Structure 1
Amino acid sequence: MNGITPRRNTFIWLIALILVGYYVLTRFFELTGSFSITSSPSGTQAADMAISVDLSWHAPISSNINSLSSAINGTGIYGFIFNSSTLPQGTPYGTYNWCNMPHVRRTEYPKVNSSYALEYVEVIHRHHKRTPYASNTFPVESYPWYCDDEGLFYAGAPLPTHGANQAANTYWSVYTSTSNPLAPRGFNGTCQFPQITREGLDDSWQHGKDLYGVYHDLLGFLPKKYDPKVVSFRVTNNVITSQVASMLVSGMFRGEEHENVPLLIQPSSIDSLEPAYSCSSASNKFSSYGAGSSDPGWTAHLKAASDLYANLDAISGVSPTDSGFHMSFDHYFDNLSARLCHAKPLPCSISNPSLCVTQKMAEEVFRLGQYEYSYLYRDAGARTLEYTAASYGIWIAELAQNLRDAMHATDSASNGSKKKSSGMKYRHNVAHDGSVSRLLSILQIEKMVWPGMGSEVVFELYKGKKDQQYYVRVLWGGQVLKSSNPTLGVLDMVRADILIAYFDGLAGQGAKKIPGLCSV
């Protein structure tokens, strides 16, 4: 009999209505800031477990940092350190130190109880302290800056190196020629602007040593020697991250300083770590409320700080019309903090040496910088999450996939599966303040600060020995991170599928939402 029977026709229409209803509900939840999926990120997770996550923005807590009154009228810098990588005697570790932020280390590490097994770790942190960017220096600086106590090694070598022509260990040595009548902008001397300084290199080495002290010495998780099948390091296309990585690897795996260690790097046009990929909608979103915008929420602090700007401009020689210095306090902040972190004096006027930046002025700049970062990445409302989810969505999608792969690898090993899976246990990303700020914004940290030098976020994946479920703990500055988002809350042993669903809701699995989110 040809054709479709009435019963079959009714069945087809019923299926169609169910599919349409599911699509409408899915779009509704996405548009209203919630997301519900049925997920089974690992073989041991319940396949029928519905995961509902809140994708909406939630305000940070109120504090001196996001108070305009405190930024303008306050004194000091909230107990923060800006003048040394080493904390003053009696200052507890964990105190905000712009020059060398707290990170995971053995003496303060909050160890998880023995009913959980650590399966995977991913670290991301800002590079360590450096000279300021050339664009952040004054037109003429009153003293030089020398970097003769280190070498920045740049070379190419054939692989494998054994039996091939060998490369020399060449490094850059900055100099000026008497036959070149042009003067560099900013500091004279022998440094690049920027470059990781000798002190920053030492901080990087210690950072690596401290991480090894926890994940090898304390937990027995990392191998004794570097193994590229288990451990990987990633950098951005900005060379200062590679300068940090070379010292950090040596601090972690001492005795292997002369080994060849690959640093993973993505093409500069699509790098997700910095990030450097093009995202027009995110750029437009930021331009509508952030630095350079006319949004009243942004310009209020710039107007309130007009007297400070006038004093700084008079001393530095920076033109009041220089937009780079006056759309935010970023440039003055970088210039002054870099000096203090390296025990250099605050600057004085070239034409009137008695006119100098005072400690009080510098502290106001630092308070305003903290205020700006809290506003840009948290306080400006849902726009902050929309901006960072689009501009850093690829990296969080990569992180989510790394967590999935680690769970799959563990389950495959437990089940005796012969199917190949990634054996990577530890990934390390050396990035920038813009990288860490975006991540903290996505995680909706309760109290946003400007991530200082070496600022670190760690994702630890655990498996419960009894329930065989997976959990994630997120550490910020070595301690558990607290989120304003109720789905995340205190990120201490949060179900892995919930965190992954949150990332998927914002960026899509495999970052499939990002091309659409980034289009104008």
Structure 2
Amino acid sequence: MNSRTLGPIMALFSTAAALTATSNVLYKTFYPASINSTGWYTNISPGSFNDSIYQADTYSSATNAPYGTYDYCSMPHPRADVYKLPEPVANKSVRAELVYLQYIQRHQRRTSYNSLPGGENQPYDCDNVEAFLYASPNGGLPQPQPMQVFGKTYTDPSNPFAANYVKSTCQLPQITVGGVLDGFQHGKDLWSVYGEKLGFLPPAPNSKTWFRSSESVLTQQSAGGVLRGIWPYHTGPVPLHQQPEAIDTTNESFDCDRRMTVLQEIENTTEWQAHLEAAAPLFISLSWASQNESDFTFSFNSFADNFQARLCNGYNLPCNVKNLSQCATMAQAQEIFRGGDWEWTYWYRTNPQAKLYTQTVEGPFIAEIIQRLQAVQNGTSKIIYEHDFLHDNDIGPIAGALGITALRWPGMGSNIALELWKVQGSSIFARVLYSGQPMVTIYGTLDWIPLSQLIQILQPYAPKDIVQICNS
């Protein structure tokens, strides 16, 4: 999208209004101005990280952070006590009704993907979660229903590969009991807004609702919790759509060789190398945990994932299994988390190849979003509410494509709501909520724009020749 194309879009917004809308805690925690500098994560002076939350109790349904705080364990989402109507609707300058909602969220809290090469001194306990695993014949068939079996992880003492593996009753990664409870609350809050306050959601899932997840069990289990929170009294099964894993347009599942080459080019830039140089003392101080393996020293991703999963589920930061008096500190964790923030905004917003990288990661799914929006625009949509249960590596590139001014790591349950409002006797307007608040972007605050402009913003990230791009 060139500057000539952006001109009409930019004219729709007021910079002053955007600054006013973000002058509260949301501005400080969701859109930090200093995120593009390595100083963003090397500044660990006392109080510098107090506006962010990275800890939660094992059994909590949510943390107690003030609404609008960047809360990695339980990101803010729409809820009735803080939800505000679009300004033109609220001040009655227009008469409009909500006609479509696409809600895209990351799964809820979980265990980690990345175990420490130096060993784990504290195992995860998932005996408090029953991960059901069964298939059933279609309800119209006369066969008996299956036993409701659930997975219960154990380690056989005779297993020769168990000696160096983390002792755990979890299948890593696995949704935790806190994630399940948080999902219930997330859904309950969505109903309080879109069900009770706006009267938009139907009293039960029906032909006008559509639910989708990735191929990951994490997203499927999150869907069960959130949807139960929305419809606590609904009985019977609900279809949760997934595309075949090999060609799934979410979670980087579809085959795309260009994606990896672009990522390598991004992570070989001068800026990326400078951020690794700034992080070198931190990585050296944690070498007892990483054993200097490249997955832990070429990016903040692996350390951040390990530390986040621990803190968000009531566990401590790791200690050296050979010297339990040597443990990671909260100051180190904060620097790791800030480093992760820098990497996310660099991947999807500030590096010269952010557009191409986003296309190869999320282009096909962004194309699906555009098709849904166009169907509403053309009056051909049979769906009024779509809910997609996905991952951080779906939320991040979508937010980047929308032009978010600063992209911190999308936390657990982070969410993007695309609301379409039909103005009486006129056209359709859109707004984009990011974790419950109008998203602040390079185009201004996406609180009330013509639907055609929202499609125009997204279109460049969904190229029609994506297969050719991926194979180039």
Q: How far apart are the structure 2 equivalents of 1:140 and 1:390?
A: 34
Alignment of 1:259-298 (within 5 A): 259-290=236-267, 294-298=268-272
Deviation by residue 1:145-178 (Cα, 9 ceiling, x = unmatched): 2111111111111112563221111110111223
Q: How far apart are the structure 1 equivalents of 2:223 and 2:320?
A: 37
2:412 corresponds to 1:449: no
Q: Secondary structure at the match of 1:471?
A: strand
2:100 corresponds to 1:123: no
2:436 corresponds to 1:478: yes
| Identity percentage of aligned residues | 33
2:208 corresponds to 1:237: no
Question: Judging changes above 3 Å, is the alpha-carbon distance between structure 1 residues 34 and 170 closer, same or farther for their aligned structure 2 residues?
Answer: farther
The answer to whether the 8 A contact 1:139-1:186 is kept is: no
Number of matched pairs: 442
Q: How far apart are the structure 2 equivalents of 1:386 and 1:83?
A: 35
- Does 98-107 or 152-161 show the bigger shift? 152-161
Q: How far apart are the structure 2 equivalents of 1:53 and 1:92?
A: 33
Q: How far apart are the structure 2 equivalents of 1:342 and 1:71?
A: 24
Q: Structure 2: which 5+ residue stretches go unaligned?
A: 11-29
Q: How far apart are the structure 1 equivalents of 2:104 and 2:38?
A: 30
Displacement after TM superposition at 1:52 (Å)? 6.1
Q: Secondary structure at the match of 2:324?
A: coil
Displacement after TM superposition at 1:386 (Å)? 2.1
Deviation by residue 1:209-245 (Cα, 9 ceiling, x = unmatched): 1111111101011111121x11111000111100101
Correspondence for 1:345: 316
Question: Judging changes above 3 Å, is the alpha-carbon distance between structure 1 residues 346 and 503 closer, same or farther for their aligned structure 2 residues?
Answer: closer
Correspondence for 2:226: 248
Q: How far apart are the structure 2 equivalents of 1:496 and 1:148?
A: 47
Q: Secondary structure at the match of 1:118?
A: strand
Correspondence for 1:81: 53
2:144 corresponds to 1:157: no
Correspondence for 1:414: none
Correspondence for 1:108: 82
Correspondence for 1:519: 471
- 1:405 pairs with one of 371, 375, 380: 375
Alignment of 1:55-454 (within 5 A): 63-75=33-45, 76-77=48-49, 79-84=51-56, 91-112=65-86, 113=89, 115-133=95-113, 135-161=114-140, 163-183=142-162, 185-227=164-206, 229-256=207-234, 258-290=235-267, 294-314=268-288, 316=289, 318-320=290-292, 322-381=293-352, 383-409=353-379, 421-454=380-413
Displacement after TM superposition at 1:95 (Å)? 0.3
Displacement after TM superposition at 1:279 (Å)? 2.5
Correspondence for 1:43: none
Q: How far apart are the structure 2 equivalents of 1:482 and 1:233?
A: 27
Displacement after TM superposition at 1:199 (Å)? 0.4
Correspondence for 1:500: 455
- Does 331-340 or 305-314 show the bigger shift? 305-314
Q: Secondary structure at the match of 1:430?
A: strand
Displacement after TM superposition at 1:82 (Å)? 0.4
Q: How far apart are the structure 2 equivalents of 1:171 and 1:373?
A: 36
Displacement after TM superposition at 1:248 (Å)? 1.0
Residue type of the partner of 1:103? H
Q: Secondary structure at the match of 2:291?
A: coil
Q: How far apart are the structure 2 equivalents of 1:88 and 1:514?
A: 40
Q: How far apart are the structure 2 equivalents of 1:303 and 1:505?
A: 34
Question: Judging changes above 3 Å, is the alpha-carbon distance between structure 1 residues 287 and 78 closer, same or farther for their aligned structure 2 residues?
Answer: farther
Displacement after TM superposition at 1:185 (Å)? 5.0
Q: How far apart are the structure 2 equivalents of 1:518 and 1:374?
A: 23
Displacement after TM superposition at 1:389 (Å)? 2.7
Residue type of the partner of 2:372? N
The answer to whether the 8 A contact 1:87-1:93 is kept is: no
Deviation by residue 1:168-200 (Cα, 9 ceiling, x = unmatched): 111101112233233165431211100000000
Residue type of the partner of 1:170? V
TM-score normalised per structure 2:
0.88
Runs of 4 or more, structure 1, over 4 Å off, are 32-36, 51-54, 85-89
Q: Secondary structure at the match of 1:392?
A: helix
Q: How far apart are the structure 2 equivalents of 1:34 and 1:397?
A: 23
Displacement after TM superposition at 1:442 (Å)? 0.6
Q: How far apart are the structure 2 equivalents of 1:506 and 1:71?
A: 29
Q: How far apart are the structure 1 equivalents of 2:55 and 2:346?
A: 25
Q: Secondary structure at the match of 2:336?
A: helix
Question: Judging changes above 3 Å, is the alpha-carbon distance between structure 1 residues 88 and 439 closer, same or farther for their aligned structure 2 residues?
Answer: closer
Q: How far apart are the structure 1 equivalents of 2:3 and 2:273?
A: 29
The answer to whether the 8 A contact 2:203-2:231 is kept is: yes
- Does 498-507 or 367-376 show the bigger shift? 498-507
Q: Secondary structure at the match of 1:331?
A: helix
Residue type of the partner of 2:448? M
Question: Judging changes above 3 Å, is the alpha-carbon distance between structure 1 residues 105 and 281 closer, same or farther for their aligned structure 2 residues?
Answer: same
The answer to whether the 8 A contact 1:389-1:442 is kept is: no
The answer to whether the 8 A contact 1:377-1:385 is kept is: yes
Displacement after TM superposition at 1:503 (Å)? 2.7
Correspondence for 2:22: none
Question: Judging changes above 3 Å, is the alpha-carbon distance between structure 1 residues 431 and 87 closer, same or farther for their aligned structure 2 residues?
Answer: closer
Q: How far apart are the structure 1 equivalents of 2:131 and 2:263?
A: 35
Q: How far apart are the structure 2 equivalents of 1:431 and 1:168?
A: 28
Q: Secondary structure at the match of 1:65?
A: helix
Displacement after TM superposition at 1:342 (Å)? 1.5
Displacement after TM superposition at 1:138 (Å)? 3.9
Residue type of the partner of 2:108? H
Deviation by residue 1:432-491 (Cα, 9 ceiling, x = unmatched): 11000110111110121110000000000111114x21111100010101211x4xx321
CA RMSD of aligned residues (A): 2.2
Q: Structure 1: which 5+ residue stretches go unaligned?
A: 1-29, 37-50, 55-59, 410-420
Q: How far apart are the structure 1 equivalents of 2:199 and 2:171?
A: 39
